[in-house]
Amino acid sequence: MATPTRKAANLEDMIKGVFGIDRVQCIKDNVCTTCGKPVAEFHDQLSRKEYTISGMCQACQDHVFNYEDSEGL
């Protein structure tokens, strides 16, 4: 189980209101905040850290951050 990063209460409330998800609970439950699938493995420690911030699984991080496009840089 991952430990969510701390955010201001009003920011957490905004995330819930806009996206309809509880970021903290999703991370504690090891579920992706974006696709709703169970979270498995990550490419590296930085991706694992991103999960504690955004709650996105590796596949969603790859899609959002265009991981495939940046590998050759």
> What is the pLDDT at residue 1?
76
Instruction: Give the number of other Cβ atoms within 10 Å of residue 64's Cβ.
Output: 12
Report the alpha-carbon distance of residue 5 to residue 68 in Å, rounded.
Answer: 26
pLDDT value at 73 more than 90: no
Q: pTM of the prediction?
A: 0.82
pLDDT value at 69 more than 90: no
> What is the pLDDT at residue 66?
86
Helix (H) or strand (E) holding 36: none
The upper half-sphere exposure of residue 53, i.e. CA atoms within 13 Å in the direction of its Cβ, equals 8
pLDDT tens digits for range 8-48: 999 999 999 998 999 999 999 999 999 999 999 999 999 99
Residues in the chain: 73
Name residue, tokens 């903290």.
24
The β-bridge partners of 38 are 31
pLDDT tens digits for range 49-62: 999 999 999 999 99
